[in-house]
Structure 1
């Protein structure tokens, strides 16, 4: 049985209002465009999640809102407050409770970058992988009957993209 993870860092957010809480920051215009581009990219490659595990921050929810229209079907969105600025161990624990064969997880740096580097057996050659900039998306496959048995360094990279590479 194959499991697939689509791991996305939220798109570029706005810093226009310095009084706004970090949790409530929206996407800026570049982030909105990048989210839509990511949706098109995912759809064009057949990377369609059955469920989406998403931090409850506004910028992660808006990233999903930008991606979703390009994807067929209606993947279930599950807001996970534990993913807000989560470290890799928390992210792995959340993923182990997933039920769909293809799961998208939308989160934040620095945790998502560390999670990405620890979940794959071999990192992609893309120099942006270690930095995991806004909108970075990793697609990883696992030879596993369930998410519960997942462990570090067990994933095979299928794809990795950052929004500026889509628009190029």
Structure 2
């Protein structure tokens, strides 16, 4: 079995003249990301590998989240994860997961939410919405990431950390 943690980036600002790729996380979003990191640490969900979109808001989400983890972990920043479809995100995970038992992806909607739906064996466990700073924990019956198949995951939990 392998475990996949799917995180939508924290709430981001969109200042005038700033390209989508460079949108920064708000102060409230940063706080929510730290709360999510603390949750991951407290529930023994710390990943072995982190795959993070190259967008500024996903990188900042990762930095805040990672600051609460018990061990330092360098993320792999993935151009292919920016504005990616569920199928493309799955391909990135299959290619980059390596021998990790737990992989965390920080990405964007609709791709992250769609990936939960594509992988889930039980559609009733898929959340209807996927707001910012949401985590889905999926357990997959595969010996490695290359063997992950659609429609086989158990959605173990979904956690939403609201920006305040």
Which of the five TM-score ranges fits, normalised by the shorter chain? over 0.9
Task: Give the direction of change, closer, same or farther, for the CA distance of 1:94–1:125 in structure 2 (3 Å limit).
Answer: closer
Name the residue aligned to 1:7.
6
**Unmatched 5+ stretches in structure 1:** none
Partner residue in 1 for 2:147: 149
What does residue 107 of structure 1 align with?
107
Match of 1:136 in 2: 134
Cα deviation 1:47-95 (Å, max 9, x = unaligned): 0000100100000000001101111112231000000000011001001
Q: Partner residue of 2:35?
A: 37
Alignment RMSD (CA, Å): 1.6
Contact 2:54 2:77 in 1 (8 A): yes
Offset of residue 130 of structure 1: 2.3
Answering whether residue 67 of structure 2 is matched by residue 88 of structure 1, we say no
1:85–1:111 Cα contact (<8 Å) kept: yes
Q: Give the deviation of 1:124 after TM superposition.
A: 5.7
> Which residues of structure 2 form unaligned runs of 5+?
none
How many aligned residue pairs are there? 162
The answer to whether the 8 A contact 1:88-1:114 is kept is: yes
Q: How far apart in 1 are the matches of 2:49 and 2:128?
A: 26
Q: Give how far 1:125 is off.
A: 4.8
1:123 CA displacement: 4.0
Q: Quick one: distance in 2 between partners of 1:139 and 1:154?
A: 13
Q: 2:156 pairs with 155, 158, 162, which one?
A: 158
1:122 aligns with 2:122: yes
CA change 1:113–1:65 in 2 (3 A) is same
Contact map agreement 1:7 1:138 (CA 8 A) in 2: yes
**SS in structure 2 of the partner of residue 118 of structure 1:** helix
User: 1:27·1:63 contact (CA, 8 Å) conserved in 2?
Assistant: yes
- Relative to the length of structure 1, the TM-score reads 0.91
Asked whether the 8 Å contact 1:50–1:76 carries over to 2, the reply is no
